[in-house]
Structure 1
């Protein structure tokens, strides 16, 4: 290229001077490398040019016609929103040290499909194309001065210089040398674009990524633990609706896959040789997350009964998202892109859905609201940041959203447990109510039957069990003379006497009509008789009122010992108590009669 001898040497030196003046006179201040250089953004060091609708070739971008079109690269330029346009960045790197420095260039996110890097001598890269062919270059910028690297998410993962979750290129900056760079960032389809690039010394890069992978490991480990906890809850609560667990577990799994894809891990670990799967699955994952979030929400909040109109709207959204998944599988792209972003935005209104159910009396949904509020807010901010140029926060909000979704899933599990507790308490209350007499609040026949079964299962029982069968004397006359309302009051008064006389080991129930049963645990027949006599006397001495009238009443009691020596012990004891009661009635009422040894006494 250059002639030999002193003349050739002089020409080479002049060429080097012209090259330096061209390259670095047109660039912003050079980014100075150091042996321990931490991750450094190109904001403030690079200049930016947004490609118009047609592609600009590298041969054109390095001409003087385009040099004036570049402007300083600021933080406000990082987010490009949803766009087809490619972006050019130009910057320079300087190594002032006396030894070569290895450094790494990486993007901030996995949203960029292609990164084309053009650079001059002073830096080198193993996979660069040397002597890059360039036409129509100005003097001092010959084609021999540029090399080319292409990074792409549409290449196998093994094509990357470093096995790292994001695109990367490794360079070696020679001692005391400077290099100029043109970088073109583009996507193959309409997509969210973030053009942040970082420069980092290789050793610092390894240290940072080691910590980064460790933290991500903890994050996805916690996610996996939540999924396993859901499976455990399912296995221990089989009576609960299986759809509930299927929806929530699917929501967790799709969240895990979505975030591993957004962070670049799915390409590295799941399908490193299938870049098409990695690049074409994002919107399907967004839609599936939204689908199962609403299916789960419907099940947890019971919107079908509490909010039937809203429930129909939710079913409509779910159907729309399912249709969008089908369309994406058949190759429809741009329409599905916007529907998938809308599906993520629609999830941000889950707290409103929870609040509407809370107003309907669903108190356990408070945890559901708490779960969705931070996630909903961060989701809205992240979507604004990712899909528009309104936000200058870059993609840092994505980490806030990731933390929020982990918190959300944990709170949803707590909401699940709260609903299970609430449902269990409700069932217990219903079971208790099913064993109570609604008028007297004493137990009923079911309650006594359960208690008898419990006693029959005991291997050892202390003392004796006596059955007191109680019947109010002439109760029909009370109803006929004073009315059924007064009769009910008399029943309630007797029930209160029984509650006062019974201990915690005793059971008092309303057997039916004006008949009551008390099952007592005592040391002897005499003690049982004394309790029965005390009940009789207390009731006899009490006075009931009906309007301005007062009246007294009496009762009769038949009692028999309950001996648990056969399966029909209760029937035998009840028969004996009934015979004793019959004897008490025949003997003039208002008395206690005990049935022992087959004889009423």
Structure 2
């Protein structure tokens, strides 16, 4: 073979090797990596990474579908994915695994020799990113290529449901997801409180069973979406695994009690009661399996129980509607929605239905619709009770009118007596009120003095900390920028040594006045300590902060301090940090960043302005 041809093959070999690699997205685009993945099944689950890495390409099978779903087989699955960065920049990406209930997920090749190990059967603090889902960071430079191996092992649904997106897209999607999840759980909690309140008033057990049904369904969803492992029991792995089928069976049990009572099955034919008792016994059996038995049978049993109960309730509701029970039509609609949503969720877990946003949240949407319909049906019971009590209320209103007339006469007499008493009280309390007002004014003046620096009249450090915390909270809520200027008088010790400490105090007051004149009324200026000042600027971005800082520095340089016929030249070094706060408690951290920038300004020769962002770029 000619040498030229060998050289050409060597040059083209990387391109051929990575021809099927996944190009990482940019902007708001999201990519499903499923079609780019290859899978190798390990039934024993004993293969090591070194063995899997050495497998020939012929051992790997292409997935060629949107989601990597393999059902409830129980095998260990190794997935291989090649990615590359075709862009001229590296914004950073996230590989988001949309199945929080995976027992174990290992990722190799992300960060040198480090192995990402996570899953709901591993402590939550093992995760690289603190998130309810399994999130893997991808950091590739421009043109860089990377091969990733994923080891997926779970006793539940082996469904990867992965998505690749940029950091910015992930943050945007996370905010939207948390908003929707907050609305969902907020609606459930509102239903729970509403119906529990009605039970406390009416003592109708149907509202109690419905409240328990809503509470257990809320817990079930909290577990399924990964919030429970993150916030409730991050290290209770055994309980977390059994809690999923247990909470499902518990919600089903309360749903049976609720249906039994609201459809008045105790007054219906005996087959209805027989079916209800059998389903109740199955619910207790599944809960027992979840607590003491193997996980997979308990999980499958909980799914079968949900479908069986929903179908039975739907059929019984239709039969009760046919028997003339008018309220049953609403319950039939609710159970039909729940059946459809539960089937979609279960079939997605088995891989029979493709993963999508609709199938992922089908049970949430269906459950919310079902509970809304049930709440409407229960509310109808209150309306009927109100109509039954309408006549009695009319009689009570008439009696109340008579009582009001009598009370009016008594009130008139009491008014005359109270007027004479009030006149005496007002005379005696006038002196006391005047004294209290003087004391209040004195307390206000004292409180204001405690917030101020005695030398410069500026706010002190304690006031700065309080106002900074409020400003960060406001900025985080309104998404408005905030800027912090850390200012230090250059060579101030020399001023004290040369002109005396009284002259130094005059220079501090002079600098405070010059800086305060340049700030807006909404800005805050505080003496941080010694010759250091801090300015807190609301609604100010980096550009505005830099411009103001330069004005302050130039103004102080042009206007020396005049003390006892002496002109004392002063200069100012300024470090600043600006941006939109993402954490309401970021104040002290931002002060530290501005202080770092100030240190760089002083180290660079003083009498200059340095922002923290510019500092970070210089360090790179």
Q: What interval of TM-score do these two structures reach, taking the shorter chain for normalisation?
A: 0.5 to 0.7
Say if 2:44 is the partner of 1:79: no
CA-CA distance at 1:217 after TM superposition: 0.9
Aligned to 2:466: none
Assess if the C-alpha contact under 8 Å between 1:165 and 1:268 holds in 2: yes
C-alpha spacing 1:367/1:180, structure 2 compared with 1 (3 Å): same
2:34 to 40, 43, 49: 43
Question: RMSD in angstroms over aligned alpha carbons?
Answer: 3.2
Correspondence 1:34-183 to 2 at 5 A: 34-36=25-27, 38-53=29-44, 55-65=46-56, 67-75=57-65, 78-119=68-109, 125=111, 130=113, 148-183=115-150
Correspondence 1:374-453 to 2 at 5 A: 374-386=337-349, 388-393=350-355, 396-422=358-384
Equivalent residue of 2:327, what SS? helix
Instruction: Give the Cα–Cα distance (whole angstroms) in 1 for the partners of residues 133 and 328 of structure 2.
Output: 39
* Structure having greater relative contact order (Cα 8 Å, sep ≥ 6): 1
C-alpha spacing 1:229/1:19, structure 2 compared with 1 (3 Å): farther
Instruction: Give the Cα–Cα distance (whole angstroms) in 1 for the partners of residues 245 and 400 of structure 2.
Output: 63
C-alpha spacing 1:323/1:25, structure 2 compared with 1 (3 Å): same
C-alpha spacing 1:184/1:455, structure 2 compared with 1 (3 Å): closer
Assess if the C-alpha contact under 8 Å between 1:153 and 1:167 holds in 2: no
1:267 to 209, 229, 251: 229
Instruction: Give the Cα–Cα distance (whole angstroms) in 2 for the partners of residues 32 and 452 of structure 1.
Output: 76
Higher strand share: 1
1:32 to 19, 23, 26: 23
Assess if the C-alpha contact under 8 Å between 2:213 and 2:254 holds in 1: yes
Q: How many equivalent residue pairs?
A: 397
C-alpha spacing 1:42/1:422, structure 2 compared with 1 (3 Å): same
2:239 to 242, 258, 277: 277
C-alpha spacing 1:87/1:20, structure 2 compared with 1 (3 Å): farther
Say if 2:233 is the partner of 1:302: no
Instruction: Give the Cα–Cα distance (whole angstroms) in 2 for the partners of residues 310 and 174 of structure 1.
Output: 66
Instruction: Give the Cα–Cα distance (whole angstroms) in 2 for the partners of residues 244 and 20 of structure 1.
Output: 72
Instruction: Give the Cα–Cα distance (whole angstroms) in 1 for the partners of residues 295 and 352 of structure 2.
Output: 24
Assess if the C-alpha contact under 8 Å between 1:248 and 1:296 holds in 2: yes
Deviation digits for residues 414-437 of structure 1 (CA, Å, limit 9, x no counterpart)? 111223434665x669x99xxxxx
Equivalent residue of 1:311, what SS? helix
CA-CA distance at 1:383 after TM superposition: 1.7
Deviation digits for residues 53-97 of structure 1 (CA, Å, limit 9, x no counterpart)? 4543322323354x2132222227633222201222212111234
Correspondence 1:264-343 to 2 at 5 A: 264-343=226-305
1:247 to 205, 209, 216: 209
CA-CA distance at 1:309 after TM superposition: 1.2
Equivalent residue of 1:74, what SS? coil
Instruction: Give the Cα–Cα distance (whole angstroms) in 2 for the partners of residues 161 and 20 of structure 1.
Output: 36
Q: Which one has a bigger Cα radius of gyration?
A: 1
1:196 to 161, 184, 202: 161
Instruction: Give the Cα–Cα distance (whole angstroms) in 2 for the partners of residues 452 and 52 of structure 1.
Output: 76
Instruction: Give the Cα–Cα distance (whole angstroms) in 1 for the partners of residues 400 and 134 of structure 2.
Output: 74
Deviation digits for residues 311-347 of structure 1 (CA, Å, limit 9, x no counterpart)? 1111111122113212322244343223211111123
Instruction: Give the Cα–Cα distance (whole angstroms) in 2 for the partners of residues 56 and 402 of structure 1.
Output: 37
Instruction: Give the Cα–Cα distance (whole angstroms) in 2 for the partners of residues 219 and 197 of structure 1.
Output: 23
CA-CA distance at 1:35 after TM superposition: 4.8
CA-CA distance at 1:215 after TM superposition: 1.3
C-alpha spacing 1:456/1:265, structure 2 compared with 1 (3 Å): closer
CA-CA distance at 1:236 after TM superposition: 3.3
Instruction: Give the Cα–Cα distance (whole angstroms) in 2 for the partners of residues 452 and 396 of structure 1.
Output: 53
C-alpha spacing 1:456/1:215, structure 2 compared with 1 (3 Å): closer
CA-CA distance at 1:294 after TM superposition: 0.5
C-alpha spacing 1:185/1:460, structure 2 compared with 1 (3 Å): closer
Equivalent residue of 1:326, what SS? helix
Equivalent residue of 1:81, what SS? coil
Assess if the C-alpha contact under 8 Å between 1:34 and 1:101 holds in 2: no
The TM-score with structure 1 as length reference comes to 0.60
Assess if the C-alpha contact under 8 Å between 1:78 and 1:394 holds in 2: no
Assess if the C-alpha contact under 8 Å between 2:101 and 2:119 holds in 1: no
Instruction: Give the Cα–Cα distance (whole angstroms) in 2 for the partners of residues 453 and 71 of structure 1.
Output: 80
Instruction: Give the Cα–Cα distance (whole angstroms) in 2 for the partners of residues 60 and 212 of structure 1.
Output: 39
The TM-score with structure 2 as length reference comes to 0.58
Instruction: Give the Cα–Cα distance (whole angstroms) in 2 for the partners of residues 46 and 459 of structure 1.
Output: 81
Instruction: Give the Cα–Cα distance (whole angstroms) in 2 for the partners of residues 279 and 171 of structure 1.
Output: 29
Equivalent residue of 1:169, what SS? strand
Aligned to 1:214: 179
C-alpha spacing 1:456/1:99, structure 2 compared with 1 (3 Å): closer
Aligned to 1:138: none
Equivalent residue of 1:210, what SS? helix
Aligned to 2:323: 360
CA-CA distance at 1:27 after TM superposition: 5.8
Equivalent residue of 1:285, what SS? helix
Correspondence 1:507-522 to 2 at 5 A: none
Instruction: Give the Cα–Cα distance (whole angstroms) in 1 for the partners of residues 95 and 282 of structure 2.
Output: 41
Say if 2:310 is the partner of 1:348: yes
CA-CA distance at 1:301 after TM superposition: 0.3
Instruction: Give the Cα–Cα distance (whole angstroms) in 2 for the partners of residues 71 and 428 of structure 1.
Output: 71
Deviation digits for residues 81-120 of structure 1 (CA, Å, limit 9, x no counterpart)? 222012222121112344444222221121312112122x
Instruction: Give the Cα–Cα distance (whole angstroms) in 1 for the partners of residues 400 and 53 of structure 2.
Output: 97
Assess if the C-alpha contact under 8 Å between 1:254 and 1:289 holds in 2: yes
C-alpha spacing 1:20/1:321, structure 2 compared with 1 (3 Å): farther
Equivalent residue of 2:79, what SS? strand
Higher helix share: 2
CA-CA distance at 1:279 after TM superposition: 2.4
CA-CA distance at 1:205 after TM superposition: 1.0
Aligned to 1:186: 153
